[in-house]
Amino acid sequence: MRKLRVGIFSECYHPVLNGVVVSIDTFRAELEKLGVEYFIFTTEVPEYQDDDPRVIRFSSMVPFKSGGGRYPIAWPRLVGKEAERVASLDIDLVHSQHLLSVGHLGLKIAMNLGIPSVLTYHTLLAEYTHYVPLFGPLSREYLIKKSRNICNQYDQIVTPSPSMKRVLREYGVRRPIEPIPTGVNVDDFQGPLSRKAVEEKWKIPKKSKILLYVSRIAEEKNVDFLLRAAKSLAEKRDDFCLLLIGGGPKLEEFQKLVREWGLEKRFIFTGMLPKDETNRYFGAADIFVFSSITETQGIVITEAMAAGVPAVAVAIMGPSDIIINGQDGYLVPLKEDIFAAKINELLEDNELRTKMGKSAKVNALKYSQQKCAEKMLSIYEKLIHRHHS
């Protein structure tokens, strides 16, 4: 029986490592077991070569190396020419991972060829306008309008969470929307680093509890809120360290701020670490802390849960769809004192922390990559069946 062939159109792929790339790899790994063949159309990265012939690269217009949340941007392509290439690969369905650029190219190719199209709306674009100085308000209004107009041309929209579906409905998107989170391979989080290894590597005092943050060090992640909340807690107790794993445009600024506070030995920035290494840090931590207010899913929370670690997170967007407040973690309002108080509650009560960690591990099974991939395959099959009908 012929395999179902899906063309993934993404502005970025390896060696870039972000939530979109993790999502592509996670779904690809499981869907290929279920008989789907993936072709990935993306942007070339200087000095990087693929081993996989099914990764097809477009020349980059801005060819800087990936890092700190940046990645190359592709030159505009001729739709007719690229549609011929897609047709030659006998692709059944286009699945775009970005609204604009390469993602939008995927939509236009699908329309050209008359095949079904899916868009995963990964990023709350209108909340990233701080990267466009002076034009922020204009850009936000523009991106909401653009999101509405482009989404309404797809056959199916996928969002990483129910919260993101609600946002798109508020934007005026009327196409079918299905929340399907990026699943996690629970097995990846069962072999944590030893506490001793983490303490020795980062010079963490013995018997200190470890608060862990894993994500970009960037404005939209609200890291300054987390640092201020942790600082207020550090003024009251000296038995914890905050370990922040990730790189980004605000890394040096926040490192300087922590030095000014005199907390550089307790608030430790590791920079970017390889994904497989990062996975092993979750289970070595006591509490996962996450202050982002723009997450469409918050996959790192699910990863922490899979490792049996309770999370304290701001109750906005994706995290509010994952954490069961008071059972496997805490959801708190955007108030530093309450955020710090909930961390303190878990630091104080070892029994509560252990109980929540066990619940988190069980609840994480709902987000296994197998279950999420089966939902995505169902979407693909329905669209293709409808197309052939």
Amino acid of residue 151: C
Cα of 37 vs its chain's centroid, Å: 23
Enter the tokens of residue 325: 């407040």
Kindly state whether residues 40 and 101 are assigned to the same domain. Answer: yes
Count CA atoms within 13 Å of residue 22 on its CB side: 21
Cis peptide before 15 (omega within 30 of 0): yes
Domain count, the chain: 2
Q: Domain containing 378 — which CATH number?
A: 3.40.50.2000
Give buried/exposed letters for 133-164 (b at 16+ CB in 10 A, else e): eeeeeebbeebbebbeebbeebbbbbbbbebb
Contact between 296 and 164 (Cβ < 8 Å): yes
**Selection from 96, 89, 102 nearest residue 116 by Cα:** 96
pLDDT of residue 64: 62
Kindly state whether residues 261 and 333 are assigned to the same domain. Answer: yes
Kindly state whether residues 119 and 236 are assigned to the same domain. Answer: no
pLDDT of residue 134: 47
Kindly state whether residues 256 and 140 are assigned to the same domain. Answer: no
Kindly state whether residues 164 and 217 are assigned to the same domain. Answer: no
Kindly state whether residues 143 and 19 are assigned to the same domain. Answer: yes
Cα separation, 58 vs 43, whole angstroms: 5
Enter the tokens of residue 293: 């207010």
Kindly state whether residues 58 and 130 are assigned to the same domain. Answer: yes
Rg of the chain (C-alpha set)? 21
Kindly state whether residues 175 and 198 are assigned to the same domain. Answer: no
Cα separation, 373 vs 371, whole angstroms: 5
Kindly state whether residues 212 and 174 are assigned to the same domain. Answer: no
Cβ–Cβ contacts within 10 Å for residue 194, how many? 11
Kindly state whether residues 201 and 164 are assigned to the same domain. Answer: no
Enter the tokens of residue 212: 């862990």
Give the global pTM. 0.84
- C-alpha distance from residue 153 to each of 75, 103, 249 (Å): 22, 13, 34
Cα separation, 156 vs 120, whole angstroms: 9
Q: Which residues of the chain have pLDDT under 70?
A: 1, 62-70, 126-138
Contact between 164 and 294 (Cβ < 8 Å): no
Residue 236's contacts (CB-CB under 8 Å, 6 or more residues apart) are: 344
Cα separation, 52 vs 38, whole angstroms: 11
Determine the structural domain holding residue 233 and report its residue range. Answer: 186-367
Residue 25's contacts (CB-CB under 8 Å, 6 or more residues apart) are: none
Where do we find the tokens 């202050």? 291
Residue 378's contacts (CB-CB under 8 Å, 6 or more residues apart) are: none
**Selection from 228, 234, 236 nearest residue 334 by Cα:** 228
pLDDT of residue 137: 62
Kindly state whether residues 164 and 247 are assigned to the same domain. Answer: no
Kindly state whether residues 250 and 215 are assigned to the same domain. Answer: yes
Pairing type for strands 329-332 and 311-314 reads parallel
Question: Could you tell me the sign of the dihedral formed by the alpha carbons of 178, 112, 11, 7, in that order?
Answer: positive
